Every structure is written in C-alpha cells, then in structure tokens.
Amino acid sequence: MKIIRLLSTLSLATMVSLFSCQKEEEQVATSDSVSEETLSKIHKIGFSTQNVQRIDEGYLIEGDIVLTEADLNTTPDITLLRAGTEEQYRTTNLVKSLPRNITVSISSKLPSSYVKALDEALARYNAQNLTITFTQVSSGANISIVSAGGNFLASAGFPTSGGAPYGQIKVNSRAIGNQPQSTVATILAHELGHCIGFRHTDYMNRSYSCGGQAVNEGASSVGAIQIPGTPSGPDAGSWMLSCIGSGQNRPFNNNDRTALNYLY
C-alpha cells in the first residue's frame, strides 16, 4: 500500500511505502460485511473493529491476526502486558510446558530464499536464551508456514488455551514482493511473535507505524501491566510494530528483549 506518511526514523529518500501485515491496493470482505454482533465481540475482547476481514479460519483483524469463532465466544480473563504507552503487549494465552522447543516448517511453495529468512528469524529468538527455542523441520511442525494469497502480507493467531503456539502462519509472497532477506526475516519473526502471544507494539496508536488516522484499539476489559525497566514512550524499532517499511530490518531491540525475557 503506497502512502506518503512515514515514521520519522525512516529515510524519506529511500522509503516510498509502508506495507502493513495485510494490505494491498484493493480491499475485500471488510468490516462492512461483518455483522455488528461479531464486531461487538471483537471489541469486547480488546481488538480493533476497523477493516475486519472474513476469512476461512474466522476473522482477520489488526492487519495480520486471526480470530476464530471459538476465540470470539470465550470470555477470558485477559491480561495485557504493557511495556509503556506504545510498547509490548501480550494476550491471555501464552505457550506453556516450559522449557519448550517449538518446531517450524516452511512450504516449498514459497520462494526458496524464505528458508534462509526463516533461519535468520529463528536465530534471533534462539540467541535470547529464552525458555522457548525454535527449530526448523521439514514436516510435522508445531508451526507450519504456508503460502497464501489475499489482502495481507502474512497472518497468524495466538496460543491456544492449552498453551500450544498457534499452528499456522500464512505468507503472501506476491504481496511481499522482492524484499531483502532481513525484511522477510523480520516479517516471519513478527508472525512468530503472535504465535507465542505478542500483540502489536503500537496497540494504543497504530498510526505510529502505519500512518493515517490514529487508532486506539481499545483495551475493553483487558488489563495492563507495565514491564519494569521499560520506557513509557514510543519504540520505533520494535519487531512487533503493526507496519514495516519496504526494505526495513527490525532485529530485537533492548525493549523487545526485556519483553521476551519477561514472558519466556
């Protein structure tokens, strides 16, 4: 999606677009075609009701997050992990049975270069010495990265109530286009972040990374806990920001590492 509003930290000479986790030029199956009852349920559990898309698994919200009907019909005691005004957030469900190795596979239908991008994404996590680790496998994975089309770059969901990571990441390589390995690795690391329970860093104001109208996604009944030692202001480099610039690389910064270590 071509836009002219860019993060102040990006170079205007080299950055000509931002792409969010879902958007191409055209939009289909938006919130206009989703019932008011469903939108109310989405808002009640603390997610944005703007540009909701109906998909096979349920609903695509906030650009790249999958919510199923089961997600919408539960009333969890949600706790929001807060690392400042626009910092790290998590959902109620996290990966359990720690320490734990999570296996990840990638479809042969995706470009072969994505295999190395996935290696890079997993290495970023494994370098943090967390109680979760990641290993790339050819089949039988806990998380399968598959090829997909549609109005998004990539999408994923959140851990199950039983503590398993979300099992699938959909990747639209056509929408991503000819991005460098580090950008693809950042996109994959971002979606893996959702799979283990992270929400978008700019949850309180998506315009911070996406431009356009300021959107506070609404905490609803969701609580908020600030992580000790993290700042109270915006964090331009976080890997879990809603939107990323073309060609941009976002390895974990200090605040990301604080949040990861807090949870895992």
| pLDDT the model gives residue 82 | 43
Strands 18-20 and 243-245: antiparallel
Kindly report, residue by residue over 109-123, the tens digit of the pLDDT: 999 999 999 999 999
Tell which wins on pLDDT, 91 or 178: 178
Q: Global pTM?
A: 0.77
Res. 16: pLDDT tops 60? no
- Quickly list H helices, the chain: 36-44, 69-72, 113-126, 173-176, 181-195, 207-210, 254-263
Kindly report, residue by residue over 50-87, the tens digit of the pLDDT: 778 888 888 887 777 788 887 777 665 544 444 444 45
Domains parsed from the chain with CATH numbers: 18-263 (3.40.390.10)
Cα separation, 252 vs 258, in Å, equals: 10
| pLDDT the model gives residue 222 | 31
